[in-house]
Amino acid sequence: MGKLVKRLMLDDIYAIGRNESWFSDMAKNGLHLKKIGCIFISFEKGEPKNTRYRIDIMKEVPSQEQLDVYHDCGWDMITKTGDFYIFAADEDICITELHTDPIEQGFSLTELDKKIKVNLMIMSIAMLLFVVMIISIYFLNDAPVLYMIKGQFVQQMLLVVVELYVFYSVVRNYLAISNLKKDLLQGQKINHNEEYRKARITGGILAGLFLTIAVFTIFIPFIEISQSKDYTLPEDNTNLPIIRLANIEHNPKLIREIGYTGNGVDWANRVSYDWSLLAPVQYEIDEHGVIPNEMWEDQSGEYSPSITTRFYKLTFGSMAENLTLDLISRYVYRDNSEIKEINSLQLDKMYIAEDEFRKQIFAYLDNQVIHVTYYGKERIEDIIPLVFVKLLSIQ
């Protein structure tokens, strides 16, 4: 037995004429078809030969008697894949074609045609459900842009592309068999010498492209997980894009209020960092403080202000406005607070919302979005300049 050589299966097996033509050309170069797998086709190295290949579609496994009759006519079965049986005959010895009546051959495709049609219908329904599901995620969401950058938007979109490609393959195969059947029933024979190079190149490019997308889709969550981290906010100054409680309160008695501590992180004073393709820098930072012996105005307890800063650096600056609006829609309870726009020449937009002790500022500049939520007695007007300075300083 000669050495086995593998080639990628770049064309559909459904493209009967093209594959037959390719196998014959390979045999002319001394590579004789041995086996067809899902990804690879194996050829055995040998002497160059003129070989005819025919792909026969049979629902039932051929009997030994049938194979004997084929053999007596010069045709030997080489391999099979699914319902596709591949026969070969020596060009110089074979006198009878495998199929001599195209109409009869057309009839033989009826079963396969039906099977693919059912596949196509199931696939269409699945595809429709999938698309409706994806659309509903974004259209029925009150904060779609926030979901997009936090969730697996890019991954989901890539998955849609891969799904569409699979669907396109099913449609393409259905059309190939349907058209072949139509041509055969009209008496038109299969072109056994059909040009195959272009289809193999296109198939190779598409398969390579979609394989890359599929692999990329699988790896994105791993990158996201590996980049994500939580740690305790240092008490000293940091380079983090946040407004510190100490800068707002101005009271030297302010001390840190430590919250629940788990996994070595003080969750009341924590920095959460995340990464996604659409927002490569995402921070959510909490800080809690307390001023001993000072009470809230309603005497409900010791005065303990807190601040949460959300900061996003987006890949596309054009998403900044919608992300800001989504943050407003997610974190402002409209019944209690009025949203006001603050005019500023330096920032793209700034909005504020206030209800009792809860003061929120939303702002964006280019591709950076910040959302500050402060619980405390200080005035929002005094916090606004801090946000200005912070956002401008990050530039």
Partner 1 sequence: MSYSDSPMTEAMYYILLALMNPNHGYQLMALIDQVSKGRIKMGPGTLYGVLTRLQKDELIVIVNDDGRRKTYAITEDGKAALKTEYKRLKDMIKDGSLLEERQ
What minimum distance in Å lies between the beta carbon of 11 and partner 1? 22
Q: How far is the CB of 111 from partner 1 (least distance, A)?
A: 10
Supply the Cα-derived Rg of the chain in whole angstroms: 34
- In angstroms, give the least distance from the CB of 26 to partner 1: 22
The Cα-based distances of 103 to 7, 88, 99, 127 in angstroms read 33, 22, 10, 34
- Nearest distance, CB of residue 9 and partner 1, angstroms: 23
Cβ proximity to partner 1, 136 vs 191, nearer residue: 191
Query: Toward partner 1, which CB reaches closer, 98 or 291?
Result: 98
Give which of 382, 326, 321 is closest to 354, Cα–Cα: 382
Nearer to partner 1, 99 or 349 (CB): 99
> If we measure between CA atoms, which residue out of 166, 160, 167 comes closest to residue 131?
160
Give whichever of 108 and 141 is closer to partner 1, judged by the CB atom.
108
- CB-nearer residue toward partner 1: 68 or 381: 68
Reported in sequence order, the residue ranges of 239-279 that DSSP labels E, i.e. its strands, are 255-256, 261-262, 265-266, 270-274
User: What minimum distance in Å lies between the beta carbon of 34 and partner 1?
Assistant: 21
CB of 105 to partner 1, least distance (A): 7
| Residue 275 burial (CB count, 10 A) | 15
Q: How far is the CB of 97 from partner 1 (least distance, A)?
A: 5
> Whole-angstrom Cα distance, residue 168 to residue 172?
6
List of residues contacting partner 1 (CB under 8 A): 54, 56, 60, 62-66, 68-70, 72-73, 75, 87, 95-101, 103-105, 107-108, 110
In angstroms, the CA 195 to CA 202 distance is 13
Q: Which C-beta is closer to partner 1: that of 54 or that of 371? A: 54
What tokens were used for 301? 């307890």
**Torsion angle in degrees (nearest 10) through CA of 302, 294, 303, 297:** 100
In this structure, the number of other CB atoms found within 10 A of the CB of residue 90 comes to: 14
- Residue placing its CB nearer to partner 1 in the complex, 57 or 146: 57
| Residues counted in the chain | 395
C-alpha angle with apex 280: 283 to 162, nearest 5 degrees?
130
